[in-house]
Structures are given as C-alpha cells and as structure tokens.
Structure 1
Amino acid sequence: MSAELKEIQARLGHFAKAVPEVAAGFRQLTKAAGAAGRFSPAQKELFAAAFGVVRGCEDCVVYHIDAARRLGAEREELLELLAVTVEMGGGPAMVYGAKALKAFDEAN
C-alpha cells in the first residue's frame, strides 16, 4: 500500500469518527453501489476511478484504483476505460488518466 493511499485512508477515518452517522450512511451506499450485478465489483471500481479522473479528484483516483486492483481488475481494462474517459473529459482527463495508470502500475 502506498504512503499516499495510507494518508487518504487516515483522513477518511478521521472524518468518519467526526461524523459517524454520515460515514455509516456513505458506507452503506458504497456497499450497495459496488455490489456485483451486470458489472463486477472490479469493473465498478474502475468506473469510480474514471469518475475521479474526470472530476479531477486525485484521492478518488488512488483510492479506487487500489480497490480495483485488489478485486482483480486488469491493466488493459483500465487502459480501455481511460481512453473513453479522455474522450469525454479532454485534457484534464488525460492528466488524471496518467495519474490513474501510475497508481495502478505502482500498486503492490
């Protein structure tokens, strides 16, 4: 686990302790949205990372790329999705897409 991911998780944990009801509700939403359906949980994590790319949320990119890798996402799946992300998001998506690929390649 990267130092960046540990820092993100620490910040989220600190915030969750400050607003436990909100955090519990968000965890429930995350669990429901990420459950297997037509798309696998790994694919859904890649989608979440793609949204992070388009929104310019570096922490989202790192967090969801780590989850996608742990769930078995493949680099080629990420690259295919990042191509569509760049198409829809333009230059900023290109920059954050590079961040997503770096996070994927550096994850243990």
Structure 2
Amino acid sequence: MSMIDWNAYHQQVLAGVAEIAVLSPDVIRGYQAIGGAARKTNLLGTKVNELIALAAAVSLRCDGCIVVHTEAALKAGATREEIAEALGTAIGVNAGAGLVYSTRVMDAVKSKAS
C-alpha cells in the first residue's frame, strides 16, 4: 500500500503545470530550455540522468520531481536496485551537508560566545 496515490498526484502535477503554461508560457519555455540543455549531449545517458534527477528530487524534497523522474527512470530501464543505490547517494550527501553545516553553527557559537 502506497502512502500517496502517486498516479493521481502525477496527474495533479501535470494539470498544475499546464495551468501555469497557459498563464505564463515563457516561464515554461525557459524551464524546458534548461532541462533540454542539460540533456543535449546525453553523455551520461537517459537512465543515469534520471537517477541523478531522483537523487536531486530527494535532496530538494520535491514530490512532483519524484513522481515525474521515477516514471522516466523506470522507462529508461532503471531497476529498483539502481534507484535504491542512487537514493543511498542522496542520503549520504544530505547527511554530509548536515554535518558540514553543523560546523557553521559551531563557528557562529564561537563568534557569539566571545
């Protein structure tokens, strides 16, 4: 049993984006241009790019990105195990970022305590 009805949510995201496209088409064109430019050389291949996108989606906490890139990763041939490995990398980077930013807190503590 899923926590979220991802298929229904995917449709909601697409409908929301379509609404923004009507109201602000230049924003959507700009967004599409950025995504297209990132994939233009295709040196990493679609599957690897989608695995990176999933790791980024987790890091940014973007459910819309998760649903869109999960479907794309699966269509590109990513396995559950490959997705889990990419997510493990995201977890590690996020933990590392927390550790590094903790040093900033300690630096702020030092400056305020003196």
Report the TM-score when normalising by structure 1: 0.73
- Higher relative contact order at CA 8 Å, sep ≥6: structure 1 or structure 2? 1
Change (3 A) 1:88 1:47: same
Give the number of equivalent residue pairs.
90
Please tell me whether Structure 1 or Structure 2 has the larger radius of gyration of its CA atoms: 2
Distance in structure 2 (CA, Å) of the matches to 1:70 and 1:27: 20
Alignment correspondent of 1:100: none
Distance in structure 2 (CA, Å) of the matches to 1:78 and 1:63: 14
Matched, 1:52 2:57: yes
Q: Percent identity?
A: 29
RMSD: 1.7
Give structure 1 stretches of 5+ with no counterpart.
91-108
3-state secondary structure, aligned to 1:2? helix
| Aligned-partner residue type, residue 41 of structure 1 | T
3-state secondary structure, aligned to 1:73? coil
Report the TM-score when normalising by structure 2: 0.70
Alignment correspondent of 1:102: none
Post-superposition offset of 1:36: 5.1
Alignment correspondent of 1:32: 37
Distance in structure 2 (CA, Å) of the matches to 1:59 and 1:79: 18
